[in-house]
């Protein structure tokens, strides 16, 4: 390899280490940090963000990239792909001035801490000024990236989380979903209304026992506790680094079912990170290929595999062993009725897989209007209320259950939401292909053995990392471009067959 390329690898490895420190500090911020540490933590995260940005935007970087690009014949396929990812990352970073990076980091920390209190007290007025300031900074960042990348402002924001993701690709898929989901929802709910209702689990289900169950299930899914841990937070997430995975969930002592599925969802994220090629972990090409692919892995675990009759039949015995008071509520048939229940609800993270895309379509619309200036922050609660009525036929009584329920906007993550539903489409398509390719996957899941599934995913998804585009990886793994077809077929088979 050329001297310039070697120097670039060293610089990106250094930035990866800083990013890992930011990730672990962010996990601590969300799980264990006392409130009094917020100001110090904001300063730490801001300082590290600026240091990373300074390395990325050092004056010699353009010359190093140009020199490495002149000698690509000396690079193998992975190195060439890595150089492309380096250039893409540099283009994003160099577009944004260092002082704006620092302002955004500070604003994100302040806004997120204010969101926690505002949500708990249903006090949107307390959050609104900080959110308005943060959106202004996000808009500035988007405008700078837009000019550098030759994209619209919103596409430039999407590209941060999902490289190559574009409104022109998303809009037709979302339009197709919106065309059939409302009618399908009515048909499914009519069927369920005619069936016997599920028996609701009656607690209490102590948090300590739920944690024990979560650890057992995570181990079955392949989680390595020597390289990770499980904690609690306001909002479930998977963080840390591939070598040190930090998963969080939240528990309800009256109902274990949602906390368990949140754990399975986040374990899917962790499995993807742990399956990335070890030789490239600290280079851009070795990272996960954007959030659509990331969400596909978490939703594949949660929605496709863990809610299947095979796995629910298996896990019911573990639940009975854990909760002596569970009774008939934990019989497989009843658990399936619980986990397959479809009903419009207010909370995205608790939504079933039929209504979930409608939650995302709402956020997709609103964040475009917030960034574009068509919607004022002060008008967000009313716009949320109207959008929920339009898409789901219900509306929240409080802003805590409305526009303040998600952490994404208070943390500055605009352009992230579409990846959840794109990930659901990809999960259905990938899981269908995996089951076709390997007949051992479904029998394995029925025994609590995820090794066949994990093996297929590592070979076809995880091992590709960021060497190829999201679309290429999906098409190579499934034989067709991403579409709504597999997702629609999955919903019809699960909820409308028989």
User: What order of strands is seen across the sheet that includes strand 238-241?
Assistant: 228-232, 244-249, 238-241
Please tell me the pTM assigned to this model: 0.93
pLDDT band at 36 (very low <50, low <70, confident <90, very high): very high
pLDDT at 325: 82
458 has a pLDDT exceeding 90: yes
Contact present, 308 and 450 (Cβ < 8 Å):
no
- pLDDT over threshold 80, residue 218: yes
pLDDT, averaged across the chain: 95
* Long-range contact pairs involving 72-78 (C-beta distance under 8 Å, separation at least 24): 74/1, 74/2, 74/5, 75/1, 75/5, 77/467, 78/280, 78/285, 78/467
The answer, yes or no, to whether residue 354 has pLDDT greater than 90, is yes
Task: Say if residue 498's pLDDT is above 90.
Answer: no
Point out the least confidently predicted range of 27-31, 293-297, 463-467, 482-486: 27-31
CA dist 291 and 288 (Å) reads: 8
Tell me the CA distances in angstroms from 449 to 166, 409, 439, 446, 452, one per residue in order. 37, 37, 13, 7, 7
Instruction: Give the list of residues 6+ apart from residue 472 with CB closer than 8 angstroms, or none.
Output: none
Sign (positive/negative) of CA torsion 472, 478, 481, 486? Answer: negative
At residue 278, the pLDDT reads 96
Question: 88: closest CA among 315, 287, 336, 253?
Answer: 287
Rounded Cα distance, 21 and 145, in Å: 25
Question: What per-residue confidence (pLDDT) applies to 483?
Answer: 98
Q: Which of 148, 146, 118, 144 is nearest to 131 (CA)?
A: 118
pLDDT of residue 50: 87
User: Is the predicted pLDDT of residue 350 greater than 90, yes or no?
Assistant: no
| Cβ pair 373, 421 in contact under 8 A | no
Helix (H) or strand (E) holding 87: helix 77-95
Q: Is-contact 226 14, C-beta < 8 A?
A: no
Per CATH, the architecture of 150-498 is what?
Orthogonal Bundle (1.10)
Q: What is the DSSP letter of 255?
A: B
Percent of the chain at pLDDT exceeding 70: 100
Q: Measured between alpha carbons, how far is 421 from 354 in angstroms, rounded to an integer?
A: 11
pLDDT band at 234, cuts 50/70/90? Answer: confident
Tell me how far apart the 2 most distant CA atoms of the chain are, in Å: 70
Cα atoms in the 13 Å half-sphere on the side-chain side of 495: 29
Check residue 482 and report its DSSP letter: -
What's the per-residue H, E or C state across 436-462?
A: HHCCCHHHHHHCCCCHHHHHHHHHHCH
Instruction: Using the predicted structure, report yes or no on whether residue 1 has a pLDDT greater than 80.
Output: no
| Rg, the chain, Cα only | 22
Give the tens place of pLDDT for each residue, 99-127.
Answer: 998 899 899 989 999 999 999 999 999 99
Which of 452, 454, 433, 434 minimizes the C-alpha distance to 443?
A: 452
- Per-residue pLDDT, 326: 81
Active site positions, annotated: 266
pLDDT digits (tens, 9 = 90+) for 292-339: 999 999 999 999 999 999 999 999 999 999 998 888 889 999 999 999
How many C-beta atoms lie closer than 10 Å to residue 105's C-beta? 23
Mean of the pLDDT values across residues 205-231?
96
Note the pLDDT tens digit of each residue in 263-291: 999 999 999 999 999 999 999 999 999 99
Instruction: Specify the pLDDT at position 430.
Output: 98
Domains of the chain by residue range? 3-149, 150-498
Q: 138, 68, 51: which is closest to 103 by C-alpha?
A: 138
204: preceding bond cis by omega (within 30 degrees): yes
What is the per-residue pLDDT across 50-78, written as a single tens digit (0 to 9) for each? 899 899 999 999 999 999 999 999 999 99
Q: pLDDT tens digit string along 173-209?
A: 999 999 999 999 999 999 999 988 999 888 899 999 9
pLDDT at residue 102 in the model: 87
Tokens, residue 376: 């004022």
* SS3 label, residue 348: helix
> Would you state the structure tokens that stand for residue 75, as one six-digit string?
């690079």
pLDDT at res. 491: 98
The model's pLDDT over 369-417, given as tens digits with 9 standing for 90+, comes to 999 999 999 999 999 999 999 999 999 999 999 999 999 999 999 999 9
């Amino acid at each position: 390899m050329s001297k310039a390329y070697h120097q670039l690898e060293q610089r990106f490895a250094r930035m990866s280490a800083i990013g890992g420190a930011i990730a672990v500090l962010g996990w601590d911020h969300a799980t264990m940090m006392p409130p009094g540490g917020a100001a110090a933590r904001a300063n730490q995260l801001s300082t590290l963000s600026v240091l990373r940005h300074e390395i990325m935007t050092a004056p010699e970087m353009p010359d190093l990239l140009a020199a490495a690009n002149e000698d690509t014949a000396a690079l193998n396929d992975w190195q060439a792909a890595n150089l492309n990812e380096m250039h893409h990352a540099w283009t994003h970073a160099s577009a944004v001035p260092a002082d704006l990076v620092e302002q955004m980091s500070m604003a994100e920390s302040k806004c997120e801490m204010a969101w926690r209190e505002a949500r708990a007290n249903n006090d949107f007025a307390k959050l609104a000024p900080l959110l308005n300031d943060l959106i202004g900074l996000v808009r500035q960042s988007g405008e700078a990236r837009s000019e550098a990348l030759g994209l619209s402002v919103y596409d430039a924001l999407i590209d941060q989380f999902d490289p190559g993701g574009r409104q022109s690709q998303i809009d037709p898929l979302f339009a197709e979903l919106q065309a059939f989901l409302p009618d399908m929802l009515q048909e499914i709910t009519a069927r369920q209304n005619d069936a016997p209702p599920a028996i609701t689990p009656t607690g209490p289900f102590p948090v300590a026992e739920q944690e024990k169950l979560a650890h057992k299930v995570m181990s079955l899914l392949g989680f390595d506790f020597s390289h990770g841990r499980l904690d609690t937070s306001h909002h479930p997430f998977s963080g840390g680094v591939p070598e040190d995975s930090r998963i969080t969930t939240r528990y309800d002592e009256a109902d274990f079912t949602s906390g368990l599925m949140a754990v399975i969802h986040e374990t899917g994220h962790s499995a993807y990170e742990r399956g990335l090629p070890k030789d490239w972990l600290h280079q851009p090409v070795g990272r996960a290929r954007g959030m659509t692919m990331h969400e596909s892995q978490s939703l594949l675990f949660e929605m496709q595999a863990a809610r299947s009759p095979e796995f629910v039949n298996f896990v019911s015995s573990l639940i009975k062993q854990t909760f002596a008071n569970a009774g008939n509520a934990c019989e497989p048939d009843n658990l399936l009725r619980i986990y397959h229940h479809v009903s419009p609800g207010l909370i995205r993270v608790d939504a079933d897989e039929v209504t979930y895309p409608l939650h995302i379509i709402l956020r997709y619309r609103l964040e475009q209007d917030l960034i574009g200036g068509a919607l004022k922050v002060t008008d967000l609660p009313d716009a949320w209320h109207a959008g929920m009525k339009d898409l789901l036929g219900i509306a929240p009584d409080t802003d805590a259950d409305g526009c303040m329920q998600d952490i994404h906007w208070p943390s500055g993550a605009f352009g992230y939401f579409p990846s959840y539903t794109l990930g659901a489409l990809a999960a259905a398509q990938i899981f269908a292909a995996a089951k076709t390719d390997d007949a051992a996957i479904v029998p394995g899941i029925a025994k609590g053995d995820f090794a066949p599934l994990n093996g297929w995913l590592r070979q076809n998804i995880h091992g590709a990392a960021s060497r190829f585009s999201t679309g290429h990886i999906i098409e190579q793994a499934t034989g067709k471009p991403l579409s709504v077809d597999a997702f629609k077929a999955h919903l019809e088979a699960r909820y409308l067959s028989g």
